[in-house]
Amino acid sequence: MKTLGALRQGAVRVWLGAACAVLTGLVLAQTPAAPPAPANPAPPPLTIPDAPKPAAAKAWLVMDDATGKVLAGENIDLRLEPASITKVMTSYVIAAELKAKRIKSTDKVMMSENAWRTGGAGTDGSYSGFEVNKTASLEQMEMGMVIQSGNDAAIALAEHIAGSEAAFATLMNDYAKRLGLTNTHFVNATGLSAEGHYSTARDLAMLGRALIRDFPGQYAFNKIREFTVGPITQRNRNLLLWRDDSVDGIKTGHHSGAGYCLLSSAKRGDQRLISVILHAKSEEERAVDSLALLNWGFRFYETHRLYQADAVVASHKVWKGTTDVVKLGLDQPLLVSTPRGRYSELKPLMDVPKTLVAPIKAGHKIGTVRVMLDGKIVMEAPLVAVEGVAEAGFFKRLWHDFLMWWDSV
């Protein structure tokens, strides 16, 4: 028969083994697999010059689409009139309502007398040319709004979807809240000057990013260069569509209170950037300044995919499970923007609980992966279980209860 001392020595060995297993799991979790090297390594990093500051715009920025990171900007949270860039939110609401099947692209939309008088050819603003008291398909009316920046088409669409433009503005603000546009408030569907109608460079970039991400089919209207309604053919007012083939949107804006505005986006290779110019002095100025910002961003920054969705990047000890380790990964690809040439300096770290107990469902959030550069967080994302871990049988659970208790005393 074993002595009490021998039993305690055996228990200590078991405890040490369990402790080592826990420590091993923690080490694995805190040291994720290194991100893959890029297929074509970038040259050594350069000193990044300041972004080309627009000559007269009141607010401006350039943003990386993949991550939402603002690469450069000024007065990016200053509330200003967005003019017809407002129609990007009108497009977003239409796309969301189409997806929800509350409207159809083939719906007949009436060009009401109100829409015609408020936003038609008799006004100082841009118009589509659809005839008053006649209908057109929702898709055609939307193209008139997006390509020609037709105020009349925007109002007609708002009335069709919500009954009135004021009711439609309520939907716009609801969607703005869902998208996290905290400094934006809409009063109308057109962007015509109105008290309490405002947004910011940051919010508008986020809105453009959301339209690209959520509704690429709807976004594609923005790169069409011209559109014809009846005998009238009008050109898209975004001059960049003719100056740079990588530009595929997004929306211009102008009225006396807002000056000249442009929300633009371009894609070169796998990288997409978004720029915003608000309250410039001329159509030419907003185009030149926007293209300068896009060129600067593409020249000095790069976007990398660190991890694929569902790829195993680490593992962690699990108690009371049919297996003793859970595989950890991400439910979305992890993309990071860095100054060009500094990809190899990224340091991924993980924050995970010390103790995990089965059962664990696949996709369950375990912790957070953070990507560091120069000691600062440049991107973070939820860390999830790539595969589930079922609960073990009675005796293993009982044994692990004992080990966990011993570890705690």
Q: Quick check: is 199 catalytic? A: no
> Which segments of 179-235 does DSSP mark as H helices, in order?
201-214, 216-219
Identified catalytic residue from 91, 126, 128, 149: 149
Identified catalytic residue from 84, 265, 275, 290: 84
- Cis peptide bond prior to 48, omega within 30° of 0: no
> Which segments of 31-137 does DSSP mark as H helices, in order?
86-99, 113-119
Measured between its terminal Cα atoms, the distance across the chain in Å is: 27
**Residue whose C-alpha is closest to residue 353's, from 22, 19, 17:** 22
Strands 365-373 and 376-385: antiparallel
**Residue whose C-alpha is closest to residue 85's, from 235, 207, 167:** 207
Residue position matching structure tokens 């021998």: 6
Count of other CB atoms within 10 angstroms of residue 174: 12
Q: Quick check: is 149 catalytic? A: yes
Residue 37 carries which side chain, given as an amino acid letter? A
Helix axis angle for 201-214 and 86-99, nearest 10°, is: 30
Q: Quick check: is 84 catalytic? A: yes
365 phi, psi to nearest 5 deg = -70, 130
57 phi, psi to nearest 5 deg = -60, 145
Contact status, residue 257 vs residue 241, Cβ threshold 8 Å: no
Q: What angle do CA 262, 263, 267 make, to 5 degrees?
A: 125
User: What is the rounded distance in angstroms from the CA atom of residue 121 to the CA atom of residue 129?
Assistant: 7
Contact status, residue 238 vs residue 260, Cβ threshold 8 Å: no
Identified catalytic residue from 87, 251, 320, 327: 87
User: What is the rounded distance in angstroms from the CA atom of residue 286 to the CA atom of residue 284?
Assistant: 6
Contact status, residue 25 vs residue 325, Cβ threshold 8 Å: yes
Residues annotated as catalytic are 84, 87, 149
